[in-house]
Amino acid sequence: MLKRFFPFATKKIAYDFGAHNGDNIPYYLLKYEKVVAVEANPIMIETIRKRFKLEIAQGRLSLENCVVSNQKGLVDFYLHRFNSVLSQLPKPQNLEDFNHIQIHSKKPSQIIKKYGRPEYIKIDVEHVDFEVLSELFGNDIYPRYISAEVHDVRVFSLLTSSKFYNEFKLLEGNSVQDLLFVVDGEVLPYRFPHHSAGPMFEDIHTESLTAAELFEELAVSGFGWRDIHAKKSC
C-alpha cells in the first residue's frame, strides 16, 4: 500500500552493504525495483531469507553472504555473542565476547559488477566503512546517492574530497525511528526499527550541507553513531 507514496521507485538498484537482519530492506524495496543485500553473518542471512521469501522468489531481492574486503578466499570473521550488530571483520580485543568463524570475502566492486550499476549504496559494516568506500571509489563507482557511518575523519575526507559529491546530510543513528512523508498535504508515517540505518538522502528532512558546513557540524557533534549521506552533483 505504501509504494504509491514513494515517487522515486524505479528499476534502479540499491545496495545494502551490512544488511544485518534486513530491517532497512522493506524501505529500499519501496524505493527501488531491485535490492542487493550483503551481510557477513550467516545467521542474519537466514533471517533475511525467511523474512523476504516472496521478494527473493520475484527476483527483487538478492543476497550475498560474504565479508566485503580486499582479502581473497576465506577470511576470519567475529560474531558477537550478545549483540549481533557488533559482529566484525577486524580481530576484536575482547575475544571472549565473540565466536570466530571463517567466511568468503568479496570486493564491493565485484558484487556491483555482478548485479549492475547502483543508484544508492548504503555502507554500514562495523569498522571497515572507509575500506569499502575506498574500494568503490578506487574502481570509479560513484552512485547518485551514498551513505556511510562516520566513526573517523577518513570517511568524511573521502566523501568530501570527491569531485562527484557536493551535497551532504548528517543522520543521527538514534533518530531514525519515525519518519514523516508529506504527500498532497497528507502526513504519512513510516517507522524504522531501532538500529536500522534509516532513510536515504531525499527522505531526510533537513537542509543539505556543503563540505565546509558538514565539517563545522562534525567539529561540534563529533564522530560516532551517525551517517554521512552524499548526493552526486548533476
pLDDT on residue 208? 94
State residue 185's pLDDT score: 61
What architecture (CATH level 2) is domain 11-232? 3-Layer(aba) Sandwich (3.40)
**What pLDDT band is residue 8 in, cutting at 50, 70 and 90?**
very low
DSSP the chain: -GGGG-TT-EEEEEEEET-TTSTTHHHHHHHEEEEEEEES-HHHHHHHHHHTHHHHHTTSEEEEESEESS--SEEEEEEESS-GGG-BSSPPS-GGGEEEEEEEEE-HHHHHHHH--EEEEEE--TT-HHHHHHHHHHTT---SEEEEE-SSHHHHHHHHHSTTEEEEEEEEGGG-SEEEEEETTEEEEEEPPTTS----GGGS-S--B-HHHHHHHHHHH-SSSEEEEEEE--
Over residues 123-151, the mean pLDDT reads 92
Q: What is the pLDDT of residues 26-84, one digit of tens each?
A: 888 888 999 999 999 999 999 999 999 999 999 999 999 999 988 888 999 988 888 88
Give residue-wise pLDDT tens across range 75-121. 999 888 888 888 888 888 888 888 899 999 999 999 999 999 999 99
On whether the pTM is more than 0.75, the answer is: yes
Per-domain residue ranges of the chain: 11-232
